[in-house]
Amino acid sequence: MQNNPKNHQQHHGKKYIFLSLLLLFCTLLLNGCWDWKEIETLGLVQALGFDLKPNSDDLTITTMIAIPPKLTPASGGSDESPSVLIISMDAPSIYEAFNRINTTVNREITLIQNQVLLIGEEMAKQGVQRWIDNLIRFREMRRTLFIYICKGRAADIMQVKPKLELNPAEYLATLLELSNKTGMFPETRLHDFMGRYETYSQQNYAPLIAKYKRQSETTGETVPPEGGQGESPDPAKDQPEDTRIIGTAVFRNDKLVGELDIYESQALQMLTGKFREALLTIADPHKEGNRIIFRLIAARTPVIKYQKREVDCFKVNLSLEAELISIQSGINYTTPHNEKILSQKIAQLLKRRIERVIAKTQKEFRSDIFGFGVKVRNSMLTSTQWEKYRWPDKYPDSKIDVKVTVRIRRTGVQFQPPLEH
């Protein structure tokens, strides 16, 4: 039996008509986006600051809004006009402040490009829980943004005018990324902060930033006022104000309770496994008045063992490597005997520093920022048992033994000190 050519053509014709209608329908659906917005109509917030308004329940919200034409190297280098617009607004809530800002800024405020969140010192001391909870519910808020705690007001810190960046928000973000090279401050993102905040096993911390007076690039002295006649005012008052990360802000629950300096922050980084490398200096153990400069490198992640006795006991083992950069005394530290002495000297220095920081967090702050509680929680059978244990109350009385091992693996490009002729 043969197929009818006419029926065959009709079948293919219907098929083509159906496919054409389907493609037309899809084209209509893809023709546009119902909620699209032109980029020229948006006020792109690059950094966001929170402060408590003095003698009020209101907030002061500070936004750093990009001026797109000024953020390109060609236009930015032609004059000294600012590349961002900084506006502060008082309001009872974060989002109402955005509405109020739009009474003076003719572009819709959006956080889709926000890189940095700065929290003022007074707000941090009174508690950040309600404000952070409010913030993360907003669909535009990126959880990967960086967090700073400000010494003073966030609105003041956001006035920074970096020399090497057109965008101050970019400066604040890339500054934190150098934590891997110095270990002198932690790199904290919003999702890190929230993760620690939502658990009892580790208290919160964040980098602490402050203003400081710039010094002369040539002498290191404070630049004198112009003119040079009459009574000289305080030189520090005439200097441009820069920003500097001065260490770590320490929290207990959701309140700021203290701070660590940059070297104490290195101990925090080591204990939490975030330390990568840093350049450090130590007194020469063989010749007084001389110093040895070395690069300290993390060999492996810290090993922490937990044991429950009368109190919670922890044994911490840190393994580090040192690369010698400079030996001022000229003593040969490449011999096995001298190498061992220097390794032990560096290890003792680090051990004392870490023990002081642990004692400070136990007795002064009563805050486990190192995460020892994670080991305790993992030893519990149920979450109910863990919650009833109340680890934050037990941390100040816990016993923590620290062992630091330093191995000199590299002696620089010259194996031995130069010979004297």
Higher pLDDT, 71 or 375: 375
In this predicted structure, what is the pLDDT of residue 13?
59
Confidence class for position 303, pLDDT limits 50, 70, 90:
very high
Higher pLDDT, 288 or 31: 288
The residue count for the chain: 421
Confidence class for position 142, pLDDT limits 50, 70, 90:
confident
Question: Taking 50 as the threshold, does the pLDDT of residue 94 lie above it?
Answer: yes
Confidence class for position 197, pLDDT limits 50, 70, 90:
confident
Helix ranges (H only) for 167-280 are 168-177, 179-182, 190-197, 262-271
Question: Taking 60 as the threshold, does the pLDDT of residue 396 lie above it?
Answer: yes
In this predicted structure, what is the pLDDT of residue 375?
96
Q: What is the dihedral of CA 90, 96, 99, 104, to 10 degrees?
A: 0
Average pLDDT (2-15) is 57
Confidence class for position 42, pLDDT limits 50, 70, 90:
confident
In this predicted structure, what is the pLDDT of residue 79?
56
- Closest to 417 (Cα-Cα) out of 234, 284, 307, 319: 284
Question: Taking 80 as the threshold, does the pLDDT of residue 40 lie above it?
Answer: no
In this predicted structure, what is the pLDDT of residue 59?
92
List, for residues 160-189, the tens digit of each pLDDT value: 998 888 899 999 999 999 999 999 999 999
In this predicted structure, what is the pLDDT of residue 129?
86
| Separation between Cα atoms, residue 331 and residue 279, nearest integer Å | 20
In this predicted structure, what is the pLDDT of residue 241?
74
Both tokens of 41, joined, read 């109509």
Model-level pTM greater than 0.85?
no
Question: Residue 73, by phi and psi: left (phi above 0), alpha (psi -120 to 50) or beta?
Answer: alpha
Question: Taking 50 as the threshold, does the pLDDT of residue 230 lie above it?
Answer: no
In this predicted structure, what is the pLDDT of residue 99?
92
- Tell me the pLDDT of the chain averaged across its residues: 85
Each domain of the chain, given as residue ranges in start order, spans 38-260, 269-421
In this predicted structure, what is the pLDDT of residue 274?
96
Residue 285 phi, psi (nearest 5): -70, -15
Of the chain, the end-to-end C-alpha distance in Å amounts to 111
- Which residues, 6 or more positions from 183, have their beta carbon under 8 angstroms from its beta carbon? 265, 266, 269, 270, 274, 275, 276, 277, 278
Higher pLDDT, 411 or 64: 64
Average pLDDT (206-226) is 63
- Closest to 192 (Cα-Cα) out of 208, 204, 184: 204
Question: Taking 50 as the threshold, does the pLDDT of residue 342 lie above it?
Answer: yes
Eight-class DSSP state of 371? -
Share of the chain above pLDDT 70, in %: 81
Confidence class for position 83, pLDDT limits 50, 70, 90:
confident
Q: 59-63, 132-136, 179-183, 340-344 — which is least confidently predicted?
A: 132-136
- Closest to 298 (Cα-Cα) out of 318, 279, 282: 318
In this predicted structure, what is the pLDDT of residue 240?
55
* CATH, domain range 269-421: 3.30.300.210
Confidence class for position 217, pLDDT limits 50, 70, 90:
very low
